[in-house]
Chains A and B, each alone.
Chain A
Amino acid sequence: MNAHVTRSRPLVEMINIQKSFGGVHAVEDVSIDLFPGEVVGVLGHNGAGKSCLMRILSGAMAPNAGTIRMGDEDVRFLSPQDARRQGVETIYQTLALADHLDAPSNLFLGRELKTRWGNLDDKNMMEEARRVLHRLNPNFKNLSDPISRLSGGQRQVIAIARAIYFKVKILIMDEPTAALGPAETAMVADLIKQLRSEGIGIFLISHDMHDVFDLCDRIVVMNRGRNVGGYCIEEVTKDDVLSLIIKGEMPDGWRPRNAARTPQTGLSSN
Chain B
Amino acid sequence: MSVEVDRLAVPFAGVKISSDALHKLSALFTLFMLVGFFSFGNAAFLSVGNGLTVLLQTSVIGLLGIGMTLVIVTGGIDLSVGSVLALSGTVAGLAVKAGIPVPLGMAMGIAVGALCGAVNGIVVTKMRITPFVATLGMMLIARGTALQITGAAPISQLGEAFGKLGNGSLFRMIGMGSNGLPKVIFPGIPYPAILLVVVAVAVGFMLRRRSIGRHIYATGSNEEAARLSGVEVDRTKLAAYVMSGALAGLAGIVLMSRLVTAQPNEGVMYELDAIAAAVIGGASLMGGVGTVSGTMIGAFIIGVLRNGLNMAGVSAFIQQIIIGFVVIMAVYVDQLRSRR
Contact = CB atoms under 8 A, between A and B. Distances in A.
Interface of A: 58, 60, 79-81, 84, 90, 92, 94-102, 104-106, 109-112, 114, 118-120, 122, 144-146, 148-149, 162
A105 B214 contact: yes
Most buried by B among A58, A81, A84, A101: A101
22 contacts: A60-B227, A80-B230, A84-B230, A92-B228, A94-B224, A98-B217, A98-B288, A101-B3, A101-B217, A101-B221, A105-B2, A105-B214, A105-B218, A109-B229, A109-B230, A109-B231, A112-B211, A120-B214, A145-B7, A149-B6, A149-B7, A162-B229
Interface in B197-231: 208-211, 213-215, 217-218, 220-222, 224-231
Interface residues of B, number: 29
A124 to B, nearest CB: 13
A44 B221 CA distance: 32
A50 B266 CA distance: 57
B5 interface: yes
Given A80-B229, A94-B224, A110-B229, A146 B5 contact: yes
B5 A100 contact: yes
Contact of A144 (B5, B7, B209, B229): B7
Contacts of A144: 1-2, 7
A145 B8 CA distance: 9
A132 B244 CA distance: 38
Contact of B221 (A84, A98, A149, A162): A98
Given A79-B230, A80-B230, A109 B7 contact: no
Given A100-B220, A148-B6, 5 more contacts: A80-B230, A94-B225, A96-B228, A98-B218, A101-B3
Contacts of B214: 101, 105, 109, 112, 120
B289 interface: yes
Interface string B280-294: 000000001100000
B4 interface: yes
A120 B222 CA distance: 20
A149 B5 CA distance: 10
Contact of B211 (A58, A92, A96, A120): A120
A146 B7 contact: yes
Main secondary structure of the interface of A (DSSP, over half): loop
B224 A100 contact: no
A81 B210 contact: no
Contacts of B4: 102, 146
Most buried by B among A100, A102, A122: A100
Nearest to A95: B225
B229 A96 contact: yes
Contacts of A98: 217-218, 221-222, 225-226, 229, 288
Interface in B76-128: none
Contact of B231 (A110, A119, A120): A110
B110 to A, nearest CB: 24
Given A112-B214, A120-B214, A144-B7, A100 B289 contact: yes
Nearest to B213: A120
A70 to B, nearest CB: 19
Given A96-B224, A119-B210, A120-B209, A110 B2 contact: no
Most buried by A among B4, B215, B229: B229
B222 A96 contact: yes
Contacts of A114: 211
A100 to B, nearest CB: 4
Interface in B217-262: 217-218, 220-222, 224-231
Nearest to A82: B230
Contact of B2 (A92, A95, A102, A148): A102
A81 B227 CA distance: 9
A146 B227 contact: no
Contacts of A110: 215, 226, 229-231
A97 B230 contact: no
B338 to A, nearest CB: 9
Contacts of B224: 94, 96
Nearest to A92: B228
A109 B7 CA distance: 21
- Sort A-B residue pairs by CB-CB distance and give the 4 closest, nearest first: A110-B230, A98-B221, A96-B225, A100-B288
A118 B5 contact: no
Most buried by B among A105, A119, A144, A146: A146
A109 B218 contact: yes
Contacts of A99: 221-222, 288
Contact of B228 (A80, A112, A118): A80
Contact of A60 (B210, B211, B217, B228): B228
B225 A97 contact: yes
Contacts of B288: 98-100
A97 B222 contact: yes
